[in-house]
Structure 1
């Protein structure tokens, strides 16, 4: 069983509803939303990491935050998968009086 099939199977077990499973499924089956680039000021680097866990190249932009976390995720057995630049997801937020709704996009 390849990594994506295993992740889909586990996601189906762990998600509480179909909408949550569909979000996870979209992230598992999609290509990265964008290709990372090095910053012009030299603070961020375009890092390409060959992940054994995902059998794919995983991108990272930050050598101080993203890349160390990527290495940690690669080596932790409790972490099932790593996705670089997943597709955008959105959430709806309501104020306490439920009179206003705001949609936020997350990437």
Structure 2
């Protein structure tokens, strides 16, 4: 079976709003982390991870938008947005685990 353009075309319509929402969540996380005093080492690592997540979700949003606007490289941009989005989800999961175990 070959992958057709139509199989992937609808993914960008889901990646863009979800990635934008998670980008907003990351900004809320930054505010939360600045108000909550933690160990400086963990706070520094969390700041880096949240910064990476913000960058990834921003890039995912950009590539998803480019995929919807482009004619020739639409599938290429969509695949990039998909991979970057999944990496961003991985970082959000790491951040959540770090905050959870810091609370214990």
| TM-score, scaled to structure 1 | 0.28
Higher relative contact order (CA 8 A, sep 6+): 2
| TM-score, scaled to structure 2 | 0.29
Q: Greater share of helix residues, 1 or 2?
A: 2
Q: Greater share of strand residues, 1 or 2?
A: 1
